[in-house]
A and B are shown apart, each in its own frame.
Chain A
């Protein structure tokens, strides 16, 4: 409960019980009392002492897990997410549809690479990562991170939804390049001696000019596992930030096809390992909208002149709160999530999502993008410091 930070704030004189009890008994009224400024020129302050568009202190720590190829711990306030990336190999011989579906497209990157612009290469990437399930994010909430979540039970609806949100965001942002995950093999050119043999020269010449085709022997599959160790609201931002930081930290060993053992071998040499080259730095910012009157939306539909009555009163009816904590999340229905990236100082909206209510309008969303782009600067700094 985020009640301890509130003792310094002014309380209405009618209140005769300690604020922590009031917060539990009348949470909605408590938060509204906090947000309603005593005078109109003062900014609203939330129950946890933050301003409405203020995010919690975020810390990022990477590379602390021994057995992961990349790892990160992200703490946003009291929410803690640990992400570990493990790379394993998927041999193309294990892919049942490989020979059939990939045979024509396999030649595309090698033969017509120059002819294609980068955009279509992206699409090719996207297809392979998505079709072959090369990115496998799973988020676990069954760590005792919050009282309601029973450990040992199958993933809750929330955990499933967060896992899928992360997966779809990984796919739509094209964050990971498929080429980083491919392991190529150039078969030795046995034909070269025979090429000089005049008897068979004709046949070989018609078939190939440059020896056997370079082929993909295997893919790296990245298992991205996120454990939410502590859940105090806004799990998605923390989870996504931890995925991003862990992927930035991920090192893949240098791997090659070994023809003698007919398997992929890796070098354990740290210097030969390569990092992933990620596309951009999409950062998620989540918001919730607190309604001063819980039934306002409902009333607007049922009682036609309710809105005018409210306007006469002149009090603010909604507050958009950035980075909600667990207490605030429990009191709000309407959520918004904006994922932005910046390129040359220009903000790009990667994803925008809003659901659960009617209160956030287009002007508000525009403001949220501004807040999110500020957040991008802050989090980028945190990510680069570690």
Chain B
């Protein structure tokens, strides 16, 4: 059924372009670029607050493009991007009074809203939120609610909106989905959303217990013979297969996790003999380490936000 409130394309629908054989192509992009970083080395990202002055708080997060993507940008050969880099804009509106229809709440009520731009991923997204976007919204709400001191604003609401301008890939684009396939990119998106939202909430001067940041760790197997190994801040496009991955929202000052989302089979992790941990414990610890790393950048961004608001006063 056509949506009358939007401009619809051709009624018969359109098809995404199909690229001709890459084996014959001269562009040589049919090779996957493998991870160059150390297993514990995180990607750099850029985080800035206060970019959207109409909101009470706002932030913009952008991952540094991978080496392959940077090379493809500066010297384009192929039209197929090798990987993508997360870009998230977050706005916070409120605290504002709840509408009359809502029953009394002694706490600040959060509304989280995650929406992908239609051009965010390889496959064009629709304008109406789908289940993954709603699901991400619930995860994000859980992550943030643990950090906010909600009882200081009774009868109030806080709207948190995240626009994903560019998402992460679920796998390398040339791979057919295999049996371990899942939407791994969503975990990275969630981690980015948590960090960005945390900065925006701080920018809106909402009291929090601590700055909560997101981190991802994964068990990846680059060839079938070896057992999967643990890497932090995984880029799914750089690995042949991801066995298991985990995202946490973590508050370093209290050493507490407000959100945990782990999926996949973590039982066959390659850990050192002396390491008494099981696969999922190692995975959670890895994700916490990644979140700690993200927290340093988050702290800098929030410090900048505070300095700016003092300069205005």
Q: State yes or no: do A and B touch (Cβ within 8 Å).
A: yes
Chain A residue nearest in CB terms to B26: A269
A229 and B90 CA atoms in complex are apart in Å by 9
- Complex interface: chain A residues within 8 A of B27 (CB): 268-270
* Residues of A within 8 A of B (CB-CB), count: 66
Q: For the complex, would chain B's binding face be called helix, strand, loop or mixed by DSSP majority?
A: loop
Q: Are A160 and B5 in contact (CB under 8 A)?
A: yes
Q: Are A230 and B54 in contact (CB under 8 A)?
A: yes
Does B119 interact with chain A (Cβ within 8 Å)?
yes
Does B16 interact with chain A (Cβ within 8 Å)?
yes
Chain A residue nearest in CB terms to B78: A268
A263 and B16 CA atoms in complex are apart in Å by 11
Q: Are B129 and A264 in contact (CB under 8 A)?
A: no
Contact bitstring A67-93, B, C-beta under 8 A = 1, else 0: 110010000001010101111111100
Q: Are A230 and B7 in contact (CB under 8 A)?
A: no
Contact bitstring B18-46, A, C-beta under 8 A = 1, else 0: 11101001110100000000000000000
Q: Are B118 and A152 in contact (CB under 8 A)?
A: no
Contact bitstring A96-107, B, C-beta under 8 A = 1, else 0: 100000000000
A18 and B64 CA atoms in complex are apart in Å by 43
Does B13 interact with chain A (Cβ within 8 Å)?
yes
- Complex interface: chain A residues within 8 A of B113 (CB): 144, 151-152
Contact bitstring B192-214, A, C-beta under 8 A = 1, else 0: 00000000000000000000000
A258 and B20 CA atoms in complex are apart in Å by 10
Known A89-B14, A151-B161; contact A136-B79, beta-carbon cutoff 8 A: no
Q: Are B14 and A90 in contact (CB under 8 A)?
A: yes
- Complex interface: chain B residues within 8 A of A231 (CB): 54
Does B120 interact with chain A (Cβ within 8 Å)?
yes
Q: Are B10 and A221 in contact (CB under 8 A)?
A: yes
Q: Are B79 and A144 in contact (CB under 8 A)?
A: no
New A-B contacts (8) at CB < 8 Å, excluding given A144-B55, A225-B117, A265-B20: A84-B117, A86-B124, A88-B17, A94-B13, A154-B5, A163-B6, A268-B79, A270-B78
Residues of B within 8 A of A (CB): 5-20, 22, 25-27, 29, 51-55, 58, 65, 69, 73, 76-81, 83-85, 87, 89-93, 96, 113, 115, 117-122, 124, 127, 129, 159-161, 163, 165-166, 312
Q: Would you mind naming 10 contact pairs between A and B with Cβ atoms under 8 Å apart?
A: A67-B119, A82-B165, A91-B15, A133-B11, A143-B91, A146-B55, A223-B119, A231-B54, A268-B22, A326-B54
